[in-house]
Amino acid sequence: MLSRIFNKEYPEFWKKYTDSFKNPATKYVVLSLETSGLDTEKDVIMSIAATSVIGNRIIIKDSFEIFVQHTKQEVPGLDNEFIIVTKIVKEFEPKAIEILLNYIGNSVIVGHRVDFDIEMLNEALSRMKLGKIRNEAFDIEAMFNKLAETNTKKYSLEEMSKKLNITSSDRNSVADDVYNIALLFLKMKDRLGIH
């Protein structure tokens, strides 16, 4: 019995993900999630967007956006036709998480309030009976607080963009958020000595 527990057969994508940490990270992955709410245990991921940053460049052609398929049973109380009826191609959560982990590998994750995104991903991984996200992460809000010499102030993407003279797109999707986060990250990383 114990040997079965300790010798659990993990899916190939999870083995590939965990093995990737044998090597140093070669890029940053800017990540944003849209969720059904702010409760990491009860709410679910509705969509995921990510893009790569290598050096001082946003690699737009190496970007993606995934919409996650849920049923009304999985998300009680969420009466949103987006869940079931839309023409947007969607993946069920386990496949969306697999695609994301294949994409990020051992990269350093960058996000806005990234701890919440990582907690949501960890909850999804827990439902899949897998481990937790292992990536190092940078939060642009914490970076901005360091530059502004404030300590725990909360800043929206728009506020940070305005203060750093970055023209940001009107936020319509997680893909727009990812691009804005990437611009903010590039503007701040050199000032903070992040390479």
What is the tens place of the pLDDT at every residue in 114-169?
Answer: 999 999 999 999 999 999 999 999 999 999 999 988 887 899 999 999 999 998 77
Q: Given pLDDT bands bounded at 50, 70 and 90, which one contains residue 102? A: very high
Q: Give me the pLDDT at residue 6, please.
A: 56
Vertex 95, ends 90 and 100: CA angle to 5°? Answer: 95
Over the chain, what is the mean pLDDT?
Answer: 88
Q: What is the DSSP string of 13-66?
A: HHHHHHHGGGS----EEEEEEEESSS-TTT--EEEEEEEEEETTEEEEEEEEEE
Q: Report yes or no: 27 and 112 within 8 Å, Cβ to Cβ.
A: no
pTM: 0.88
Residues forming a β-bridge with 91: 68
Model confidence at 13: pLDDT above 90: yes
Per the CB < 8 A criterion, the answer to whether 38 and 31 are in contact is no
Within 10 Å of residue 43's Cβ, how many Cβ atoms? Answer: 15
pLDDT at 112 over 70: yes
Tokens of 182: 């990437």
The sign of the dihedral angle between the CA atoms of 148, 168, 39, 91 is negative
- Identify the pLDDT of residue 156: 92
* CATH T-level fold of 12-189: Nucleotidyltransferase; domain 5 (3.30.420)
* Residue bearing the bigger pLDDT, 71 or 5: 71
Neighbouring CB atoms inside 10 A of 121's CB total: 23
